[in-house]
Amino acid sequence: MSLRLYDTASRKLEPVTSTNGTTTMYCCGPTVYRDAHVGNLRTFLLSDLVRRVLTVNGVNVKLIQNITDVGHMSEDIENEDKMLAQAKAESIDPFTVARKYEAGFHTDLARLNIEKADAYPRASESIELMLAMIEELISKEFAYVGEDGTVYFSAQAFPSYGAISGNRLDALKPGHRYEYSEDGAKRFHADWALWKNAGGRKEMIWDSPWGPGFPGWHIECSAMSLHFLNSHINLHVGGIDLRFPHHENERAQSNAITGNESVDLWLHGEHLLFEGRKMSKSAGNVVLLKDVIERGFDPLAVRLCILENRYRSQMDLTWASIEAADSTLKRWRKKIKTWGTQIPVKDAEFLEILDNDLDTPKAIQYLRTLEKNENINNRAAHFLFADQILGLDLAREEVISALTLEQEDILKLRQIARNEKRWADSDELRVKLEQSGLEIMDGPDGQTWNWR
Ligand code: AMP
Ligand code: ZN
């Protein structure tokens, strides 16, 4: 079998295609004005999993992921670029902001064992590509220059608009917020900006045939995907919120240029919630990978939690599930060392589970069953094969670290508090120990500890 995935446009499972022996993949990347939270990382992990499954199936893959460092307007602050708003907040140059969070994005990917894409083109360095595309769209009469000097894509010039999301033009009412405030000199309410006139803006602007300005958000993904992937994308990945308008507009732009269907399969990952609510700044429940590490957990525990959920379902992450995944990883790593030769051997049954629309929860269940089955000859071979896709570092040697002097002191103080029946003090010291990464158990012979 080969990999089949759910295509948002056709609303059914489709085989992943390739062109001249290579599957071309494009994944919408981060807007680098803040740290990526674990929700964003769930989406980036999706393209990694797909690529790993294809690779293990013997398919050559080329993956491109863009870095949005200009042109993504904020929903909160009327018509303000997310980058410029953050630059103002941090009192630094917007490009410094962009590079800082771009570096953080790469650190997070490495911590989650997400393999590197073939290229990470930046929007700010792809302006020429975008300008050439916009000129072509104007000459093909898919775009026009508004009276305000902004260039718009004409939604009505593209008859199949709405094929991915189902949002057909006749059903889209004027006044609906298609994307932020972009009323300007549009001829039709669903048109969108390809190139925005600079107006009063002084930073992050470039010259263009229509005067100084900056690109709209959607055009960068059309320009980069077609340029880097030889004008055809076999598989396009992003979070579910990007289905409309971002991917609908991207499809219109790209197809208008190529004259055919430029993407074979649109894959969307569902959102991650945290403790029952959508992760967002306003809900106050944003979790970064560094928060997970600070609590003493392996960041790959987050990877395992994500794998335990199907990519097409919303998932709820909690500290308890991260903790449970962390101990599963430790247990597996220890057991594998005792299970025979440490060489992966192809497991067709395991691969078939993933080939069927990336059924990672079933794949994890398969491993849990295997773990309990004493009759299987070399369980290490199965686990290490699985790990080529799951990326959980199962061959890693678990290092048992020594206690720090401070932890030793607190343990002694706590034992004294317990001997003197000062329970409140004992509880306070337990919290301190737990925060430092230890787990404390009280038994008839006194306290014992473990690394969490
Ligand atoms: P951004 O950096 O905001 O442009 O988002 C980067 C990626 O993260 C996009 O593909 C979004 O669809 C995705 N995304 C945003 N929020 C979540 C979430 N809570 N869970 C999963 N993916 C998300
Ligand atoms: Zn995109």
Letter for the amino acid at 3? L
Which superfamily does 4-269 belong to? HUPs (3.40.50.620)
98 torsion bin: left (phi>0), alpha (psi -120 to 50), beta (else): alpha
- Among left, alpha and beta (phi > 0; psi -120 to 50; other), residue 367 is alpha
Predicted confidence band at 175 (pLDDT cuts at 50, 70, 90)? low
134-143: list long-range contacts, CB under 8 Å, 24+ apart.
Answer: 134/194, 134/195, 134/208, 134/219, 135/209, 136/257, 137/194, 137/253, 137/256, 137/257, 140/256, 140/257, 142/252, 142/253, 142/256, 143/194
Short-list 281, 352, 360, CA closest to 315: 360
How far is the C-alpha of 368 from the C-alpha of 361, rounded, in Å? 11
d(CA 22, CA 18) in angstroms, rounded, equals: 5
pLDDT given for residue 401 in this prediction: 66
Atom in ligand 1 nearest the alpha carbon of residue 42? 21
Lowest average pLDDT, out of 84-98, 111-125, 153-167, 283-297, goes to 84-98
- Closest atom of ligand 1 to 29 CA is 6
For residue 129, is pLDDT > 70?
yes
Residue 239 CB less than 6 A away from ligand 1: yes
Confidence of residue 182 (pLDDT cuts 50, 70, 90): low
Q: Whose CA is nearest to atom 19 of ligand 1?
A: 39
Looking at residue 432, its pLDDT comes to: 92
For residue 280, the model assigns a pLDDT of 80
The alpha carbon of 221 and the centre of ligand 2 are apart by a number of angstroms equal to: 5
- Structure confidence by residue, pLDDT tens digits, 67-105: 999 867 765 545 678 888 888 888 888 889 899 999 999
Q: Would you say 149 and 197 are in contact if contact means Cβ atoms under 8 Å apart?
A: yes
Question: For residue 180, what pLDDT band results from cuts at 50, 70 and 90?
Answer: very low
Report which protein residue has its CA nearest ligand 1's atom 23: 40
Distance between CA atoms of 227 and 224, rounded to whole angstroms?
5
Does ligand 1 lie within 6 Å of residue 429's CB atom?
no
pLDDT of the residue at 72: 79
Q: Is 186 annotated as a binding residue?
A: no
Ligand 1 in contact with 241 (CB < 6 A)? yes
Find out whether the beta carbon of 213 lies less than 6 Å from any atom of ligand 1.
no
Q: Compute the distance between CA of residue 239 and CA of residue 29 in angstroms, rounded to an integer.
A: 10
Name the DSSP class of 40.
Answer: H
Residue 31 CA: nearest ligand 1 atom is 2
The bridge status of strand 192-197 relative to strand 213-215 is antiparallel
- Name the residue with tokens 């998932």: 315
| Ligand 1 contacts CB of residue 344 (under 6 A) | no
pLDDT of the residue at 451: 74
Q: What is the pLDDT of residue 78?
A: 55
**Ligand with an atom nearest the CA of residue 253:** 2
Name which residue leads in pLDDT, 342 or 324. Answer: 324
28 annotated as ligand-binding: yes
Calpha distance 161→159 (Å, rounded)? 6
For ligand 1, mutation pick of 73, 241, 311 (most atoms within 8 Å of CB): 241
Ligand (nearest to CA of 43): 1
Which-ligand-closest: CA of 254?
2
Q: Is 110 helix (H, G, I), strand (E, B) or coil?
A: helix
pLDDT in tens, 26-61: 999 999 999 999 999 999 999 999 999 999 999 999
Return residue ranges of the chain for CATH 3.40.50.620.
4-269
CA of 200 to the centre of ligand 1 (A): 30
Q: Please indicate whether residue 38, judged by its CB atom, sits closer than 6 Å to ligand 1.
A: no
Strand partners, 279: none
Using a 6 Å cutoff on CB, does residue 30 contact ligand 1?
A: yes
Asked if residue 296 has pLDDT above 60, the reply is: yes
pLDDT per residue as tens digits for the range 317-328: 999 999 999 999
